[in-house]
Amino acid sequence: MTPEEAFAANLRRLRSARELSQEELARRTGLHASEISRLERGAREPRLGTIVKLARGLDVSTERLVKGVK
């Protein structure tokens, strides 16, 4: 599993567990829903600032969001 795929799986799982749509997570983070879609498909590697925004929007630690990413 690539780092992008591992991050994508974490992001999808955490977003789904909170019953958030991509659009709602985008609203919470200030990111575009299309950006979240690309991240969830593993089509894009997130920058540190994006990881922090996503963790805050999901109300989880950055460590939890990147768990298993190598």
56: CATH: 1.10.260.40
Q: Give 61's DSSP letter.
A: -
Average pLDDT, the chain: 96
Q: Give 59's DSSP letter.
A: T
In a domain, 57, yes or no: yes
Domain that includes residue 17, residue range: 3-65
Number of domains comprising the chain: 1
Does the model's pTM come out above 0.85? yes
In a domain, 70, yes or no: no
Q: Give per-residue pLDDT as tens, 46-70.
A: 999 999 999 999 999 999 999 999 8
To the nearest 5 percent, what fractions of the chain are helix, strand and coil? 65, 0, 35
